[in-house]
Amino acid sequence: MWDKVKRWRWAMAGAAMLLLGLVYAFWPASVPVDTARVTRGAMAVGVTDDGVTRAEDYYIVSAPVTGYLSRIELEAGDEVTRGALITHITGRPSTPLDPRSAQELRGALAAAQAAASSAQATLAQARSDRARAEELARRGFLPRAQLEAARTRVATGEAALAQSRAETARIRAMLGQPVGSAGTPVPVRAPASGSVLSVITESEGVIAEGAPIMTIGDPQKIEVVVDLLSREAVRIKPGDRVEITQWGGPAPLIGRVEQIEPFGKLKISALGIEEQRVNVIVHFDENAAKEAARLGHGYQVDATIIRWRRPDALRVPIGALFRGGDGGWRVFVVKGGRAEERALAIGQMNDTFGEVTKGLAEGDEVILNPGNALTGGARIKAR
């Protein structure tokens, strides 16, 4: 027996090495994975959108009359008090009459005077006819209808004479107007105290009634208007915490939702999609008011409105979550060097974590971004 072993020992050794090589070649390799721990800590869920700052008290000063605007010496940033003089607007001078227009007016005046003389003669005749009709009617020789007709002719004649005289007076006023005359300068005053935010019309010149001249507001009292989708606006409420970021400072500014406007407006997105948007008004907290004063009217910021917050939530990175065959949430948990698929329940979720309500414990190690080839029971090794 021993002789046979000695005779075949090299062949047996070669076969054993071949067998070990085959086992090594076909042994399942460990899958390298990234892992993370389930932790407990602060977690918040909110909605983020663009916001624009504006002065709480914002006034647009407009031209009260049409006329000639004097140059405005105020500049953006200047302080003004309520009632302070901003500028003057002088009534527009009347247009001079050219010779042709003057001749036409003189002709119209002559026609109006002739019409007035004719109306006066007609009225005199109508009054005489009315007197005779009243006398005949008193004696019973004239029907009532003819008497009323005579009185109506008198009333019509009086109206025609009054109209002719008014037309004559109007044309005389046009012919006798002073050329180049202007009205009394109208002062334009500040409606409230604050700072000049912008000067819309600075140079002198003719301006129409109602045209904007400048804007006035208090830059120390700033609020934020956040333009939210209507389906997001219904999920928030006044008093919700707001974190203002991308405003230029190192730390977020904290505010509160002051008002949700009760109407939406149609807005076309950059992709051409019709969206219903709602303005949400945000006021800064007292501690953030000093930093917010560095902002001006019309500055762009990012606003995150917090609608759920918990200081000790059990959190799992959202990169570890995937959907199972039944549509529920799943994770791969590291157990003894192998991947164990486990079902869990998720409550709230944000861009970083999901709130674990069932299925995991604090300290569990989970696999991040598991590939489709990873299955339960597979050997793994952490990168």
179 pLDDT more than 60: no
191-224 pLDDT per residue, tens: 888 889 889 988 888 888 889 999 998 877 889 9
Interval 361-371 mean pLDDT:
91
DSSP character for 50? Answer: E
pLDDT value at position 381?
A: 84
Bridge-based pairing of strands 241-245 and 253-268 is antiparallel
Please state the separation of Cα 70 from the chain's center in Å: 33
331 pLDDT more than 90: yes
Q: If we measure between CA atoms, which residue out of 197, 264, 260 comes closest to residue 225?
A: 260
Would you call 224 helix, strand, or coil by DSSP?
strand
Q: Mean pLDDT over all residues of the chain?
A: 85
pLDDT value at position 180?
A: 46
- The whole-angstrom separation of Cα 58 and Cα 228 is 22
- The whole-angstrom separation of Cα 48 and Cα 351 is 11
- The whole-angstrom separation of Cα 327 and Cα 330 is 9
Q: If we measure between CA atoms, which residue out of 58, 80, 72, 76 comes closest to residue 201?
A: 72
**Burial of residue 62 (number of CB atoms within 10 Å: 0-12, 13-18, 19+):** middle
Interval 297-310 mean pLDDT:
92
- The whole-angstrom separation of Cα 46 and Cα 254 is 14
User: What are the residues facing 31 on neighbouring strands?
Assistant: 380
18 pLDDT more than 80: no
Contact 182, 90 (CB under 8 A): yes
Q: Identify the band that residue 94 occupies on the pLDDT scale cut at 50, 70 and 90.
A: low
312 pLDDT more than 60: yes
Q: Identify the band that residue 286 occupies on the pLDDT scale cut at 50, 70 and 90.
A: confident
35-45 pLDDT per residue, tens: 999 999 999 99
Interval 311-325 mean pLDDT:
93
Determine if the pTM surpasses 0.75: no
Contact 194, 24 (CB under 8 A): no
pLDDT value at position 106?
A: 81
264 pLDDT more than 60: yes
CA 48, 54, 57, 58: dihedral to nearest 10 degrees? -140
